[in-house]
Structure 1
Amino acid sequence: MSRTAPKRHRHRGPAARPRRRRILAFLVLVTGSGFLALSGPSPAWAADTTQYAADPSRGNGVAVPFEGLVDRDGNPVSISGAIGVDLVLGSTQEPYLPCQNFNQATGAGDTYLNACQERGSYATYTRFAAGRSLLFPHGYFMGDSQPDLVRGGTLNTGWGSRTAGLSFEFYPQVDRDKEFVHSRFYIDAFGHRANGWTYSAWVGRITLATLNDPGTARIGGRITDGGSTPARDRVRFLIFGGDARSSSDYPISSFAVFTSTGEPTWDSGAMYAGPQRIAVTDTANGRQCVIDLKGISGRDNVLDLDLSRPDFGRAGSVCR
């Protein structure tokens, strides 16, 4: 497989940043605990990424044979959007995300923070216009050197040789956000060496899905605080789960991250059908309940919540 270098975009300014709060999204799938990691940037003691073991046999770095998104007919999608990629060092079990290690107040962070396209968030965040969703026709590449997006020149990060995992997340354009499934997948095995790179399993393409497609689901219901409606942005929702497959049969899932709207109801938007883990956080006091739902499908899954109750009104939830 030959390599054509992916375009590196220098996103700068507020308009270029992801429009959602970022979290250690993949942890919900690998920790097995009842709580999500919501503590923000990775610890400062881990700022020197050279502490993580490198694999010099990987050559130039690692690559994921993932091309991008298509519609149901296999054509480029008709909406715009973006694909964010989290870089994980250390291990899947004990992860360190260099680009999330950023203190906005002080400007301190990872040694190679200048190589991150989104400080405090994704290593790369690649936007596309409608009809241009096959972003990586030759695959996605994480090399041992990246452009210095602040000072110019090149940073020898060693990221490719140290990569433990890569997490890919899709965002549709803002005004169509709830209509489309936000797909995601995680890669943590790289074993095929070719053309100077070390490749993961073949991912291929992901078919964009809406609630009109089979294999999708939506969750929603009423949300109250002892009978009153919570204020806008008071309640934070994080949902991960569902089961789907890429064109090569690689497993993919879905996610949703949003806050309360000030209305008496909440709505997850389109998700893949299957088991779901929902973390509900009352930002007024920091209380959080995690609710696990077994396989669900269809549009009409109801989950009513009451913040005044110890379990937010959902018996069996795990709260702290």
Structure 2
Amino acid sequence: DDAAANQNYALMLMEAGKFREAIAPLERLRKLGNSELAVRVALIESYLKAGMKGEGEREIQAVLKAPGVTPEDQIKLAGVLLEDKQPDIAQEVLEQAVRSAPDSAEAHARLGALLLNKNQYEDAAREEGRAVQLAPESAEYSMLLAEALILWKHYPVALQFLAAVKERFGNLPEYRYKVGLSYYGMHRFPQAVTEFEALADQRHNLDRVQFFLGNSYANMGDLNKAESHFRRAIGLNPKNASYYAALAQLLLKESDDKRDEATALLEKALALDPSDVASKQELALCYEKGSRYVQAQHLLEDVVR
């Protein structure tokens, strides 16, 4: 029939990336009285990806006010908006989902995860805390709450919460990682090392674990072990600028004879992340000590710009 033909044609256009062209058949479907959420969400996605933000926002409001829209529908719509890099509108949708279904663990958890990505850690912890209360059996929600508490720098609270859920989730690698991060944040480096080493024995390919082992050993004064772990982190993930910068700073602490390697590492770090001000300053000092004054001056001018 006409509706099915329009829907298939619109979906084909969307799959081909022709979002502006998909709008007309989707609008025809809407005029034909097809108010299925899938059609409305496809229309919103097409508006947004075609750069028609105003039309997209109006359609979102129409969908949210439509009779029979469930919190599950709102969560689906928020997912589409997040895929389209529209976190602010997605947040409004999820906040409405939470208001309309205050006992929906998923609504609270999805809102908490979004707030976490926006660095709003206190609000994220509140939402994830509610999700955990509503669904204590969910490892995902508990780990998100621990992450929010750690990023909020409430390390003792995170550790206390993790201890409370140890019986349920203590065998998960992510659980052990977050316990290690909590100890690390509290500067209890020997305990952090215990957790990270145990996790590294289980999972050999986790570059972040090697990085935090390097930092922990450096803080404990064991520079040789720190160097070894930083090198492993780089080997596992050679695209992370902070690993090169950390190893460079460690080598400069160890010996002035290692300045050439440290310089090369800082150059690599800046090639990967040109916005790293600390590495620019450190590299400028290396250039200065190596009598490369012009390069040092250029870097320092770049810092103060």
Under TM normalisation by the shorter chain, which class is it? under 0.3
Q: Comparing both structures, which one devotes a greater share of its residues to strand?
A: 1
Q: Give the TM-score of the pair, scaled to structure 1.
A: 0.23
Which structure is higher in helix share?
2
Instruction: With the length of structure 2 as denominator, give the TM-score of the two structures.
Output: 0.24
Structure of higher CA gyration radius: 2
